Structure formats: structure tokens, C-alpha cells
Structure 1
Amino acid sequence: MSIDVDAAADHLRSQWDRLDRWLRGLGGELGRAVDRPSVLDGWSIGELVSHLGRVMEALARCGPVAPGTVPLSFAEYLGTYPDRAEEIAEATRTLDAEIAPDRLGGVEDRAAQAFARLDALAGERVVQARRGPITLQDMVVSRVVELVVHADDLSRSFPEIHDDPVDPRALDAVAAELLHVVVVRGGWSLEVHDPMLWVRLATGRERYDVDQLAKALTPVHTSEAVPDLGRMLPLL
């Protein structure tokens, strides 16, 4: 990973605060839209908001591990997502039904628990997460990835709202981390040119296209080209 746990925690807090303010700023519009489909196929806007609580709850439930526990790599942890897609969706629907009377309040409570747990885990290198052991640093980065991606999902679900809930610094960090996964696997020398486009391609929000990829990434060396990553993407 290219950022340490403290930097990742700063990005997590900044992205959460910005997204929370944005959601609160929707006022009654959010309540009227909860049953409307979001841009995330098969998910309503209400379910997508409630999923933010599950995202933060995953950090709140982390705990210490036995000495010598070998953690999953960041890429391995992301790789557990596809096989659990239906499980994640069903758990989100259950949570949504539970907190529907005060959806934002329920999500905010879980975020507060997550940040309290993060403070309590200070000094731990490896923690036990839902999907296995992972370094605390990678766990926090994974939460930043989730918040940035879902902030963009929500923004696109409200095209009439022009304020952006995505924190620019958090977006840059997420784009860099997702590129790091690709570079480690393939050994290419690449850099991010369009962070949002790259994040959408890397997470399956944008249909893969080599021309779009060439807009999102650029080779470090001008004599090289952006490789075809069609078999590697989406990463999650």
C-alpha cells in the first residue's frame, strides 16, 4: 500500500464527513427517493444508503488476532467480494428494513462505532475482519474504497444534485490503491490520469473499453502503451 494507516484514517474521516453532510443536505428529497432504483443494478437508493452502515460496521467489528497470524493481502481481500455478492445484498436488505425509520441515524451510529473501534485498535498491525485477517492499514483503505465508490453511486443516482459527495483527496488515494493492485499483478509502469474514470472502470461502474482505459491511465514511459486490462477488470 502506498499510504499508511494514519493517512488512510484521515481519508476515511474526510470522505465520511463529506458524504454524511451531502446526505443530510438532501433533506426530504432523500426520503422521497428511497424506493427509487439507484444506479447500482438491483439496489434501491434506500438500500444503497443503508449499505454505508454495513460498510462502516465491518470496521466496527474488527478485533485483534493471535500473534503470528498471516493477513490477506489487499488484493486478496478485494477478491472475496464477488463470491459474496448475494450475501452482501441480502444482509444490506435486512439492515435497510431494520433502520428504515431513521436510515441516516442508523448509518451515522455505525460510523461512530467504526471510528471508535479504529481508535481502540491503534497499534495493532493485523486485525480480524469479516472475510479474514487483514492488516489494519488495508482494512481502513478498503473502507475508503467503499465510501468513495458508493458516494459516486449515490451522486449518479441523484443527477439533479450538483454538489459532489466524493472527497477529491480520498478519490486520488483510492485510484492509486486500485492501480497498485493492477501494477503488482502485471508489472506495468502506469499512472492515473482521470481518477474517477479509473475508479469506475476498476470497480465495474463503467463498462470496460480500451479507449476509456486510455483516458483513465497513462504509461509512465512514453515509448509504452496502456495494456489491455479486460481480463483483469473489474477488480471488485
Structure 2
Amino acid sequence: MPPAKKRPRTYDPSRTRAAVLAQLGNVRAGVAGLSEVQLAGATRLAGWSVRELVAHIGMAVTAVHRALELPEPPRADAVLLDWPFATVDSAPAIDGFTRDLVKRHPDLGVYLAGVERSLPELLDSHPGSRLLQTNAGALSLADYLVTRTVELVVHTDDLNAAVPGLDIPYDRQALAAATRLLADALAVKAPGGATEVRIPPYAVVQCVEGPRHTRGTPPNVVETDPLTWLRLATGRVSWGHALGEAKVAASGERADLGALLPVMS
């Protein structure tokens, strides 16, 4: 008998909405006091200053606005886990759009405040089932909001890395959703049950071809914390560096994930 097909993870729409709004609020408050010198500082995203990064965060959220302005697609032709693998093709357009935003919004505080004010009003006007045309295909609004947690949390981490002492907090639900989505994406990229990847307290996934364990301690185990996982999954940190810094514990002959990372870029 073939193994039962795993059901895709589901996300509570109300909790996702609250997470997106909370993390957007965290970012807006965190960058409000940045000086011009700080905004001009470099980030770990090649070619982007802190100013571009902040503008991009606003752009990532207002992708919801832009999608809702378009006609609703006739049917869903994508699933949530298609999204992490579709972002790389959009990189050049995203870079150009971000730089244009910086020119059009010299006061980023005002810009983010406007985004924070308009998003809940927009979400109140549309059901979560409303389909949106996204870079991954036609997804529901509820699913697309899950992808916004990845954008917000990953780029919050980029900001904190770029500005010493900034320490923008991470909404727990936003961090959980982002962690789970990219962990599930790894399981899609490397299907199997030979390796167990643990990211406490938010996710455990089975991946990598090979003998599947059914009970007891798995022979191949990888464990890390949520932020390290997000950095690995998005290419902010290499597998070798994370191992060398003891940010990842890996045991077993199929526990080397280096060739599978990043999951998205």
C-alpha cells in the first residue's frame, strides 16, 4: 500500500491577518527614529541601503493592495507552497520597483504609516477566499497573507542585521507562519522521510529520499532555531557557516542539507 499523502498545512486566516498587521507595526515603529546616516547604511542585500530595504517592506505589503486592484482570476491555479519557488524570477522587477518607491516616498515613516492604516481597511472589504493574481499564480487572499509573514519577518531580520541595536521584535505568530511555510517548502523540494528537520517550537518536517523511520529516534536529524532556519532557507547564512557557529545540530549520513539550501532566493 502506498504511503498516505500528507495533507497540506492550514493557517488560521484571522491569526495570519493579526500577525501581518503586528509585524508591520513593529517595523514601522522600529524604523521611525532612524537617522539619515542609518538609512543610507548598507544591508546584506547587495546594492540595497537600509532606505531601500524599508521601502521594499512597504512594497511587499502593498502587493496585496495591487493584487486586489486587478480583476479576480477565474480559478486558483497555484497552491501556497508554489510561492517560495516563484520569487527568484521576480527579482529584477522587485529591485526596480523598490528603487522607484524610494524616489516617490522620501518620507518612509509617512509611507509605512499609510500602508499600516490602509491594509486593515482593505482586508475588511474582501473575503479570504478572494483570488489574487500573484507571481506564483492565482492564490487566495488568505494564502497570500501567509507569504507576507515571510517577507516581513525575513526583512525585519535584515534590518536588525543592518542597524546595530535596532532590535525590532518578531511577532510570534508571524515568525511561526514564516518558519512553517519555508520548512514545508524544503519538504516539497526534497521529498522523502529519511531526515527529520526540527525547528522548535514551530515546525517538524520529514524530507530527503531514503529509508523512512517509523518509530523511535530518527537516524538523521537536523535541528535549529527559527531565525537561523529562515536565514538558511533564504540564503542569508550558508549551511557550513551555521554548522561552524553551532547554530545547527545535524546527525546522520543524510543530515547534510547544504545542497538543498537556500529554499528560496
TM range (shorter): 0.7 to 0.9
Say how many residue pairs are matched: 227
Residue 202 of structure 1: aligned partner: 233
Residue 262 of structure 2: aligned partner: 233
Matched position secondary structure for 2:259: coil
User: Measured at CA, do residues 107 and 164 of structure 1 come closer, stay the same or move farther in structure 2, by a change above 3 Å?
Assistant: closer
Counterpart code for 1:57: T
Question: Superposition pairs for residues 89-108 of structure 1, below 5 Å?
Answer: 89-100=95-106, 102-108=107-113
State TM-score, norm by structure 1.
Answer: 0.84
- Over aligned residues, Cα RMSD in angstroms? 2.6
Question: Alpha-carbon deviations, 1:141-180, whole Å to 9, x = none?
Answer: 1111100011110011112x15333223321221122101
Task: Point out where structure 1 has 5 or more consecutive residues left out of the alignment.
Answer: none
Task: Point out where structure 2 has 5 or more consecutive residues left out of the alignment.
Answer: 1-8, 200-223
How far did 1:94 drift? 0.5
Residue 21 of structure 1: aligned partner: 29
State TM-score, norm by structure 2.
Answer: 0.75
Residue 93 of structure 2: aligned partner: 87
Residue 154 of structure 1: aligned partner: 159
Q: Percent identity?
A: 28
The structure with more radius of gyration = 2
Measure, in 2, the Cα distance between the counterparts of 1:34 and 1:162: 12
Check conservation: 1:47, 1:96, Cα contact below 8 A: yes
Check conservation: 2:55, 2:98, Cα contact below 8 A: yes
User: Measured at CA, do residues 127 and 197 of structure 1 come closer, stay the same or move farther in structure 2, by a change above 3 Å?
Assistant: same
Counterpart code for 2:177: A
Residue 114 of structure 1: aligned partner: 119
Question: Alpha-carbon deviations, 1:162-203, whole Å to 9, x = none?
Answer: 533322332122112210111234234432140000000001
Check conservation: 2:88, 2:264, Cα contact below 8 A: no
2:19 equivalent to 1:50: no
User: Measured at CA, do residues 216 and 139 of structure 1 come closer, stay the same or move farther in structure 2, by a change above 3 Å?
Assistant: farther
Bigger RCO (CA 8 Å, 6+ sep): 1
Matched position secondary structure for 1:61: helix
More helix by share: 1
How far did 1:66 drift? 4.4
Residue 243 of structure 2: aligned partner: 211
Counterpart code for 1:42: G
